[in-house]
Chain A
């Protein structure tokens, strides 16, 4: 099946710094990718929809200036957490819509810890 890869799988950063998480579709082109946040023992919360070549669409309550999304190519979307704070510590997961258009594949997730 389709493969979506995230990097890094784990990252620790200091409070106030920025950190970038990459999401790649390895064997298909993805015009649309999605970024989720997941707190322990909870379901996934959609943060934004990343569209290749255009601005991301953010869900209500998500700060677009804090969570910068860039979808520069058909196989890569990046999420940058700017001026990170401890409350931004979470599991971030990306997904991409497969070629068929009705199946979404997920990356392995990235653990962010802000200290």
Chain B
């Protein structure tokens, strides 16, 4: 069975600083991994996904994530945080039944 763990329910960074949101997964098969962002009172927007191929995946809004099989990780990064990046971020893995298994979410705050 697949599972996802997001380390840190809340991350705070200064504007312009590096953003690092951690995600570790558990999967018995090659995983399909996703990062979604949720702004207050809204649905989820796909940031990026990894299925196969290149392990460094680039997404929207300057975010990227690297799939590291040896570490079972799929951490999300952005070189320079912007105030508009403040939101809730969810890491997810697609299970064999086609269902998304979500992590607990990480709330990103950006200080001016």
Q: Chain A, interface size: which category? A: 20 to 34
- The reply to whether the CB of B45 lies closer than 8 angstroms to some CB of chain A is yes
Closest to B51 in A: A102
Cβ contact within 8 Å between A109 and B42: yes
* Chain B hits for A95, CB < 8 A: 44, 100
- The smallest C-beta distance from B68 to any residue of chain A, in angstroms, reads 20
- Looking at A13-21, A39-47, A67-75, A79-87, the stretch in contact with chain B turns out to be A39-47
Q: How many angstroms from the CA of A105 to the CA of B36 in the assembled complex?
A: 10
- The smallest C-beta distance from B31 to any residue of chain A, in angstroms, reads 11
* Chain A hits for B105, CB < 8 A: 42-43
Cβ contact within 8 Å between A106 and B45: yes
Chain B interfacial positions (CB closer than 8 Å to A): 32, 34, 36, 41-46, 49, 51, 90, 94, 97-100, 102-105, 107
Chain A interfacial positions (CB closer than 8 Å to B): 1, 4, 6, 32, 34, 41-44, 46, 49, 91, 93, 95, 97, 102-109, 111
